[in-house]
Amino acid sequence: MIAKLAFKNVISKIWRTLATVVAVAISIAAVFLILSFKSAIYDYISRNSIANTGTEYGVHIKYSPNGDKTITIDAARAHEEVEDVSPSLEFYWLFNDEYVSLRGFQEGKLDSLNEVRPMYGSMDDIKNVDDVIISYTTAKYFNLRLGDCFTFVSTKNVPYKFEVKVIAEDEGYFGGRGIPVVLANVKGISRIIIGSETEIYNNLYIKAKPGVSNSDLVKILAQDPKFENLIVEESINYEKIGQSATNFSATVQIVGVAVMILAVFGIAIILLLSTNEKRDYIAKLSIIGASKKQIAGIFLIELAITGLLGVILGVGFATGLHAVVLFALAGTLKTFKIVAWKLIVSLIVGFILTMVFGSYPMLKAFRGTIRDNVVDSGKKTPLTYIVPIGLAVLTAVTFILGFTVRPLYGIMGILSLVLIILLLAVLMPIVLKLCVKPFAKHKDTKAPLKLAAIAVTRNKQTVSAGRLLSVGLVAIMLMFAIWKMTTSVFTGYMNDFKNIVFVTNTTQDDVPVLSQTEGVDRVFQVYWGEVKISYNGGSKEKGTRLIGSKEVIDAFDFSFITPKEVVMQRLDEDGYVFIDKSMQRLYNIREGEEVNITLDGKTKTVKVGGILSSTLFTGNYLVMGPKTLLDTFGAKTNNTMITTKSDTTPQNVVNIIRSKYAGEHNYYAAALIDMFKFDISFLNNVFAMIGILAGIILIMIAVSLSSSDMVAHGIRITEREMLMCAGMSKKMLFKSELLEHFLVAIITFVISVATVFALFAALLNAIALFGLYFEIAWPTFIQNLWVIVVVGFALCAYYALIPLIFAYKKGYKLRAR
């Protein structure tokens, strides 16, 4: 009987039930998307490393720009800790004016590191040393099919042809991003660089014996004199991957807090909207003699049905939308990973919230009498005043602390962000009432507006809608703000690369040669690589990029915290490194402080010679003079950087270099921006993912708003009937309802836009928790403010137009009783 009644309730208000189910499902999906975001980024980044090295061969010995370029296998095999060695020859070469990554392995061992899943052809077709395997994407990119060939022209102008024998899925070796990979026999590709099928190697991938850890094997091999001039490292740098994933997802994770608050609000508001109605229903049930147990049974079954339906739909939304986000990231999607615990947590959270907020009317009804439940007294408790004031004070304190106490930047940032949103939700009804009161009170106010204003001041459903809208607005505006900001921060500096040509495999002797190239402005040698810096007396360590050159100071847009003349002087001296202002701010590294730099496996102590400021690599860089580079680290500049004249393009200069020196030199010349082409594409994918996430959340908020508004609209049917009985026309009633939405939308919009500034400031402090500081965050925010405002406005406009969109007017009628 109880269950029957519960089912009847669910079915009799089917649209309300569905709206609630959707709201629950959306909240579940939102929580899941936020929880899964970082791991999605992590998986995406790690795919690249795994594609390069696989997972079995955990140690990688590779050539060093300043050491040996070739490696023999025997020395590695001689170690008893080594289970197996897979050698390879890898280099970039031009095909159709584009670089491809040639990876040569021993005969029959092309798939030794990673899997190859043939789509066309089979591994048994690989018979000649010039048979190659490419991925489906590469084949499509170069418009190749089985039997077609790559022609690689050697520096001696000999054209070597390689036949495509297998086209494989974009998995395994081909699962990474970046330059297209061509998998070949080492003998085949050796010919390109030495004109002979002699096997030479520049990489060793080593599998440790069971019981030997990769890190231990790295230590053992690094001590072998045979490898002293090579780089010995773990194949996959999980630390670096984690750092990158953190960098790209930090802002989303923080905004995710706002989204999660929104998810809670989404479920809470839609379930609390009908509190009075439910109390009324409980009163009726009590009158006809239903016990509390029976009433609880009816409500709990009803909630469980709603919750379970929400969970079921939530699973669909969560997985489907997660797949959409991943597709935006990777471009292709064969399979995708769902982390079970994250989905389960999301589902449990959604279900529990449904049960908790759904039970609230029942619990409240049980506390009061039948009269209390039928007639809402609307009494105000002291908490009505204490909560907003206390919250406001707490918010102000945390906000100020976030700017003043350095170690507390991050934690205060995140706290103030949460508190600001909660404060907004708490204050929004008050603000709404205050703002519309003049309209409600003023005698000359036209009837529809007056009616709308009165509804805003008195109607709980309308106030709740304002609350939901405000939280949704700030969440979505923050989401779009970080989308635009991260895009600018992580790729904006690449604008500086636009007139630069980068030539690798060069020495100082090449500078005069390359200077003769037409269209060249400045030519200088540079070291361009990755290093580790440890600071605070060696207690903390961080990977960063090193630019070893003095001339680079004028090639990029640097400003100087330390006077320029001091910096320039120290760049000529030995023992100095220069850091960015962001590093100074985040890690408290000071000018003159001693830091340890690890370059090509050599760790040396140098002094911080000065503080620079630049958007380059979001401030994650070091600059070092050639003297320090050579004298302290024994490293030579192995690349040439060329700035081009304004009357030409970098590509023109690249073409000249490639054609002019093709026969004599094996320069790897490319426009610097092109060298980052795949990084940019990767970052754009990540940012597209944030954008897609923002878009999805926008739709979610819209759906959530629609659901709750329709529920509220349904609840207010009696109110409308009364007005119509009093002689109000349908047109006026509709106008009034529309105006009510407009009033809420406009006021919420203004307040939310103002709040977003404070939230953004809190967010910038909060990302310090992830070791990030973006110098250009505010300029970017201001620059993209219009996008944020437009998105907010669109959502408000949507909310305002809900009565029109859902044709509320059509449902205005007097029910027969």
Partner 1 sequence: MKKNVRKIICVVLVLSLVVLALAMLSACNKKQQDMSRDTQKDAQAREASCNTMLNNIMKVASKDWNSSMTDQEIVSLDDAGEYVSNYYWAKFFVDTLNHSGLRTMKLESVNAFIESELKKRDEKKEDAVSSADEKQEEVILSATDFILDFISSSGLLAQETASMTFAIITSLLDNAQTVYTAAIEKCNNLLNPGRTDIEVTDKARISIQKEIADLERSREYIVNTFSGEVKKELLQSMDEGKPGFEVLFETVFDFGGLLSTGQFKSVIDGGKGAMSNLSKNDILNFLDSIRIKLANMYMYFDDNVDDVEKLKDTFDRISSITNTFIAKNKIVYSALNMVRYVNTIMDMLPILTDLLLNCWTVFENDETFIDDIITYFIKANKSYEENAYILMARAFMEYKKNTGDTVEESKEYSLNFIDTIDKNIAGDIYSSCIYIFLEFVMDSGNEGKYFDVDTEGKTAEEIKQAKDEMMNKLSRPLTAVFIGLGGLRKTYEKFLTLDSVKKEDVTYRVNTVVDMLTDMGIVSEELKHIATIPDGNTDPWFTSVYNLLEGIIKDELIPQAIRVADTCMPKYFEEIYVPGVLEDMANSNWVTHDDGEEQIDPDRAVLEEKVKNLNLFKMLLVIPVFAKIFR
Binding positions for partner 1, 706-745, rule CB under 8 A: 706, 710
Three-state DSSP class for residue 83: strand
Q: Which residue of 35, 100, 129, 427 would you call a contact of partner 1, by CB under 8 A?
A: 129
With contacts defined by CB under 8 A, name the span among 329-337, 351-359, 394-402, 623-631 that binds partner 1: 329-337
> Residues near 96 by Cβ (< 8 Å), separated by ≥ 6?
142
For residue 786, state whether it binds partner 1 (rule: CB under 8 A).
no
683 binds partner 1 (CB under 8 A): no
Q: How far is the CB of 794 from partner 1 (least distance, A)?
A: 15
What would the two tokens of residue 336 be?
A: 């995708």
197 versus 372: smaller Cβ distance to partner 1: 197
Is 67 near partner 1 (CB under 8 A)? Answer: yes
Options 96, 196, 369, 508; binder of partner 1; rule CB under 8 A: 196
Judge whether 207 and 226 are in contact, CB under 8 Å.
Answer: no
Q: Nearer Cβ to partner 1, position 333 or 352?
A: 333
**Site residues (CB under 8 A) for partner 1, limited to 790-809:** 805-808
Q: How far is the CB of 626 from partner 1 (least distance, A)?
A: 16
Provide φ and ψ at 342, rounded to 5°.
Answer: -70, -40
Give min distance, CB of 230 to partner 1, in A.
Answer: 9
Considering only residues 554 to 573 of the shown chain, the ones binding partner 1 according to CB under 8 A are none
Q: Determine, following the binding rule CB under 8 A, whether residue 229 of this chain makes contact with partner 1.
A: yes
Is residue 360 at the binding interface for partner 1, with CB under 8 A as the rule?
no
Q: Which CB atom, from 130 or from 775, has the smaller least distance to partner 1?
A: 130
* Angle between the N-to-C axes of helices 383-404 and 409-441, in degrees from 0 to 180, rounded to the nearest 10: 140
Pick the binder of partner 1 from 445, 505, 596, 655 (CB under 8 A): 505
Q: Indicate which single residue of 669, 700, 701, 747 sits in contact with partner 1 (rule: CB under 8 A).
A: 700
Determine if 516 is a binding residue for partner 1 (CB under 8 A): no
- What span, in angstroms and rounded, lies between the C-alpha atoms of 106 and 86? 8
Q: What angle do CA 312, 315, 321 make, to 5 degrees?
A: 140
Q: Which of 32, 91, 587, 682 binds partner 1 (CB under 8 A)?
A: 91
Q: Where in 434-453 is the site for partner 1 (CB under 8 A)?
A: none
Tokens (6 digits) for 587: 């890690």
Among 55, 507, 603, 718, binds partner 1 (CB under 8 A): 507
- Interacting residue with partner 1 among 106, 569, 596, 666 (CB under 8 A): 666
List CB contacts of 359: < 8 A, sequence separation 6 or more: 299, 300, 303
Decide if residue 327 touches partner 1 (CB under 8 A): yes
Rounded CA separation 420/475 (Å): 12
* Helices within 54-81 (DSSP H only): 74-77
CA angle (490 as vertex; 658, 562 as ends), nearest 5? 95
Residue 88 buriedness (CB in 10 A; 0-12 / 13-18 / 19+): buried
List 136, 141, 142, 360, residue binding partner 1 (CB under 8 A): 136
Dist CA 717 CA 715 (whole Å): 6
Residue 191 has, within 13 A of its CA and on its CB side, a CA count of 17
Amino acid at 769: L
Stretch in the footprint of partner 1 (CB under 8 A) among 192-200, 300-308, 402-410, 729-737: 192-200
- Which residues 138-167 are close enough to bind partner 1 by CB under 8 A? 139-140, 144-147, 149, 154-161, 163, 167
Binding mask 23-62 for partner 1 (x = CB under 8 A): ---x------------------------------------
Contact 252, 23 (CB under 8 A): no
What is the footprint of partner 1 within residues 615-644 (CB under 8 A)?
A: 638
Q: How far apart are CA 125 and CA 114, in angstroms?
A: 18
Looking at the DSSP bridge assignments, the partners of residue 611 are 579
Compute the Cα dihedral for 364, 366, 367, 369 and give only its sign. Answer: positive
Q: How far is residue 798's CA from residue 528's CA, in Å, rounded to a whole number?
A: 51
Query: Which x/- pattern over 101-120 shows residues binding partner 1 (rule: CB under 8 A)?
Result: ------------------xx
